[in-house]
Structure 1
Amino acid sequence: MFWKRLMILWVILYSLAFTAKEIHIDSLRNQISHYNDFAEYKTSMQLISDFLADGHASHHERYTAFLLKAMIYKKLFNYDQTLHNLDLALQEGMKSNRKEMVQQEIKAEKSFVYFDLQQFERAKQFMKELEATGYQYLSAKQRVFLYTQEGYFLMKDKKYDEAEKSLDQAIQIAKKFYLQDLPIVYGKKIELYNETNDTEKRDEMYKEGLKIAQKFGNLKYEFYLHEIMKNVFRKNQDYHKAFEFQQICDSVFFLYNSNSNSSKIELLEQQMKAREYEYKMKEKRNEQFFFVILSGLLIFLILIFIKLYLVNKQKRILTEDENRRILHEIEILTNSASKKDGSKTDLASFNLTERQREIIELVKQGKNNRQIAELLFISENTVKYHLKVIYNILNINQRTEL
């Protein structure tokens, strides 16, 4: 696998070396969308970086490039970088002649980020500002997610009829423009109907959403719907059903990773053929020169990859040793703390989110950040972020006090 990737990389570098063609912003957007569908985020990032390095791009084109970059970081759950690139996009966009559109799009994307981070008041503030504009410049996809968030907040306020209307608006738009994103809206409807004890509609939404996710081959949305059902059954204290859906989640997660890896190779092969055909006639007189350069670069990359492999292997060993040591220390500290009266924080007296309580339970089970991230299907950075918030809420300094 290691040598295959090197060979694929070599062919891509070879094909790229025969072009200096400027990438149009629409072409860039299509390429990024294509690569993102196959989780080839590194390739997407390289294309965006090359585009931004071109001094001929307009302010609006640079705005679009930074926005695409922010969306990639959001897919990777790196919310700090997402917000940073949204700010960079805003700076470029405000130099263009589409200032109102830029402001609305950035506010919409920031509301989505803060919603994911469960910083709901910030998300609501952006949504309130956008509502005053009538969503004039927003895309259909952005309106789908805004109405979905609105429905979720109304549900939390127990305004169930209004929540259903907002979610129905999202469904109406999605059916017309983004049928593949309907499972996201159906997921919120599952939660809504569970709150209103309408189990028949709840289960119908699950089946409909699953059918669409499978139709488009979207394993990520399949996983999302299974996880929603797992959570509602756990909330209903139906632990048998919750366990069944947890097993389904585990199976889909494994399948998602497997398919993703195979799709990467297929995509690279397709791109190699396309680029070889497109650039075949360009700068053919310099072919031997480029071969020499690329061969030297390949040797250099091989040495770098070997070194990185050895370093990562050593880091992994050290990390595993450190985790074992930390778990041992936690066990000692936990045993020591259990002998003291009132040493543990009473969680019932705090207003914690469900995700925060999940993380606390996993910490109590002795899970480290990496294990928690894998179990909850989030990144380690997100786990660290939640732990920081939990420490602030509970006014504690370390995980052993949980």
Structure 2
Amino acid sequence: MSLNCARCIAVFFLLFSVLFSAQSINLNSLEQEIIQNNRLGNYKLSQKKLSDILLNVDLTNEERAHVVFFMAATYRSVGDYTMCIYNLGRCKTLAEELPADHRLKMRIDYEYAFVYFDNKDFQKSREVMNHIALQNYKNPFPEDQSYILMQEGFLFQDERKFEEAEAKYNEALKIMKTASPCNLPTVFVKMMTLQGKRKNVEKAEQIYEKSRALSDRCNILKYKIFAASEMERIYKENNLLGKAYLIGSELDSLRGLEDIESTVSEMHLTDKAYTRKGVFIKEESEHWKNNVFLIFTILIACGIVFYYYQKTSKIKIDKLKMMQELQEMKLEIDAFSDTQTKFYNGEKQFFLSSDELTNRQKELLIHMADGLSNKEIAEKLFISESTVKYHIKNIYGILNIKDRKDFFRRLSQNS
């Protein structure tokens, strides 16, 4: 194969590898971006970011599983629990190929517990929480652990075990202060609910003010709505209708800012559009990859054919040269045999008649005409090989001969 052809194929193979190699993404940075968007109520921005990555980036199986997990968390943040569960199912399928101790598998279990709880399917949430307890996961995310404690506290509260519930909430509060201070309103609201159950409205109001101040400081609209909605419910439950009306008016304004129903509706439309686009891109991508692979295969085949063509041509040329050399050798052998005969018949006495040659040198010339090597001549004459070389050098000088080949050539010419 020629060097240029080999280089072309090597370059094409390199480009082929680059085109089909997986691109890496920074999962930690991506998750922080999604969390920040969701806290600010930019759920559609999160969905678009994640959908674009799923469609346009060649992800590894692990990366794809994480991106789908972030999508599930986004849908839970917006309160679309059906889509959250659907994406968790996709994520779980992708995660099956990951090692048994992979942290994503733990996070999927936690997220299932949260979404079932948020959807008020407490039985399923309790089952998942029991499963988590049996797994004895190592190094869980502190924030997730805080949410689990809150859920356990709520279940105690639902059974009117208020002391146990309060202990769980305080434990969750302690962890959340360190893990994620801006998420403290999620604990505060649970504690408000507990005080409402105890008919301690004043205590609930104090906790509500803390939650409201923190939500303002962290600029998290959904937590403002979450806390105000719970405070409205506590007022109504305790027949404080005036206060309920005032906070209800404020709540309507906050909900108008968030416009969750419109957001969820737009996210569903976007998801359908991306799904259709994904199918189209997948078909186009497969078609493109097939064409590239076909071209690559044709180039390789052409390279192989070209290589064997050159190799075959070289073999033919080498064979032809070999035949020519054999023919020349045959002619030389024939000429040498004829020369030897004539040399002994006295027709080449012009070499041996020189008065400048000694008898030993003439004897050596006869052995040279017989085709003997220096070593063989030395053995015949019982002298050293270096002495033979010395005599031959002198003979060549006397007879004006260049080398042994010239010697036989001159014998042939004078035949």
> CA shift at 1:236, angstroms?
1.4
Distance 2:219 2:253 in 1: 15
Match of 1:191 in 2: 193
Matched, 1:182 2:184: yes
**Residue in 2 aligned with 1:172?**
174
1:51 and 2:53 correspond: yes
2:87 alignment partner, SS class? helix
Cα deviation, 1:69-96, whole Å, max 9, x if unaligned, reads: 1112223332222111111111222212
Distance 1:216 1:129 in 2: 34
Aligned position for 1:113: 115
2:106 match: 104
Distance 2:157 2:111 in 1: 22
Query: 1:25-71 deviations in whole A, cap 9, x for unaligned?
Result: 33433443344344444443333234334674222211111101111
Q: Which amino acid aligns with 2:163?
A: D
Gaps of 5+ in 2: 1-21, 264-415
Q: Does 1:33 align with 2:35?
A: yes
Q: Could you say what the CA RMSD is over the residues aligned between the two structures, in angstroms?
A: 2.7
- TM-aligned CA deviation for residue 174 of structure 1: 0.8
List per-residue Cα deviations over 1:331-387 (Å, max 9, x = no partner): xxxxxxxxxxxxxxxxxxxxxxxxxxxxxxxxxxxxxxxxxxxxxxxxxxxxxxxxx
In the alignment, is the contact (CA less than 8 A) between 2:153 and 2:169 conserved in 1? yes
- Provide the C-alpha distance between the structure 1 equivalents of 2:42 and 2:184, rounded to a whole number of angstroms: 24
Please state whether the residue corresponding to 1:208 is helix, strand or coil: helix
Deviations 1:203-239 (A, max 9, x none): 2211111111111122221121111111011111222
* Counterpart for residue 285 of structure 2: none
Aligned length: 241
Bigger radius of gyration: 2
User: Counterpart of 1:132 in 2: which secondary structure?
Assistant: helix
Alpha carbons of structure 1 residues 104 and 25: separation in structure 2 relative to 1, 3 Å: closer
2:249 equivalent in structure 1:
247
Cα distance in 2 between the residues matched to 1:64 and 1:104: 12
Say if 1:237 and 1:34 are closer, same or farther in 2 by CA, change over 3 A.
Answer: closer
CA distance in 2, matches of 1:35, 1:186: 22
SS in 2 for 1:95: coil
From the superposition, tell whether residues 99 and 63 of structure 1 become closer, same or farther in structure 2 (CA, over 3 Å).
Answer: farther
- Provide closer, same or farther for how the CA distance between residues 241 and 66 of structure 1 changes in structure 2, counting only shifts above 3 A: same
In structure 1, what is the Cα distance between the partners aligned to 2:151 and 2:256?
Answer: 29
- Work out the CA distance in 2 between the residues paired with 1:251 and 1:54: 39
Deviation at 1:180, TM superposition (A): 0.7
Contact 1:94/1:102 (8 A) holds in 2: no
Sort the Cα spacing of 1:46 and 1:167 in 2 relative to 1 into closer, same or farther, 3 A.
same
Correspondences of 1:260-275 after superposition (within 5 Å): none
Alignment match of 2:223 (pick from 196, 221, 235): 221
Q: Which amino acid aligns with 1:92?
A: L
4+ residue segments displaced more than 6 Å? none
TM-score normalised by the chain length of structure 1: 0.55
- 1:138 aligned counterpart, secondary structure: coil
Q: Give, in angstroms, the shift of residue 146 of structure 1.
A: 1.1
Find the aligned partners of 2:97 and 2:35 in 1 and give their Cα distance: 26
2-structure distance, mates of 1:59, 1:99? 16
Contact 2:150 2:190 in 1 (8 A): yes
Contact 1:90–1:102 under 8 Å retained in 2: no
TM-score (norm 2): 0.53
Instruction: Provide the rounded CA distance (Å) in 2 between the counterparts of 1:101 and 1:195.
Output: 37
Pair 30,164 (structure 1): closer, same or farther in 2 beyond 3 Å: closer
Query: Take 1:143 and 1:230, find their aligned partners in 2: how far apart are those partners?
Result: 28
- Structure 2 CA distance, aligned partners of 1:37 and 1:236? 31
The 5 Å alignment of 1:346-361 reads none
Matches within 5 A, 1:14-25: 23-25=25-27
Q: Please give the alpha-carbon distance, in whole angstroms, between the structure 2 residues aligned to 1:53 and 1:97.
A: 25
Deviations 1:280-310 (A, max 9, x none): xxxxxxxxxxxxxxxxxxxxxxxxxxxxxxx
